Amino acid sequence: MGRARGAWCGPWTAGALLVAVVAGGFGLYWFQPWRLWQDETVREALPEVTAPASAPPAEAPSGATAAPPPAGPTVLASGELISHEHPTSGTVTFVRLADGSHVVRLEGLDTSNGPDLRVWLTDAPVKEGRAGWHVFDDGRYVSLGRLKGNKGSQNYTVPEDVDPSRYTSVSIWCDRFDVSFGAAELARA
């Protein structure tokens, strides 16, 4: 009996136990499984940005009419989210605000929570099923930031140097595992 007890308390057992604890801790950190049961709901309104005050408009040449700038937000493109790695639904709109800036708006978003989720504006085609899980980092994409919440409505500012005409889709992208949770093809309005 003494020999068996000695084998269980030896340095190899202590080393194996230490390795198991470290591996388990790393696995928990990497996968963060508790996030699957934690929902974060965001309810942002579409920004009401007004154009900056400027000099009075110059008089138009005779016979020509000056077109006034848009008074409010203009939807340039929109699409419905489809599921990829996780069930995902909601609407995506690409909006030009009155000041000329752009935002991507997620409305009625419902997806799983996960580690390191981002909102990407991409030029990749949206494909159904597993074929669409990994295509969004193959071409051109712009990260608009971390996903603010896995449910609700939220806005993401598009950087000024981004040409909206070069991007055709939006993906809820898990940067840690390089996989799309869901995506929407943007149909021009």
How high is the mean pLDDT of the chain?
83
- Residue 184 φ then ψ, to 5°: -135, 135
- Residue 110 φ then ψ, to 5°: -145, 105
From CA 109, how far away is CA 89, in angstroms rounded? 6
pTM of the prediction? 0.73
CA diameter of the chain:
108
Residue with tokens 């340039």: 76
DSSP state of 123: S
pLDDT single digits (tens) 60-105: 455 555 556 557 899 999 999 999 999 999 999 999 999 999 999 9
Range in 8-12, 55-59, 106-110 the model is least confident about:
55-59
- Residue 35 φ then ψ, to 5°: -65, -25
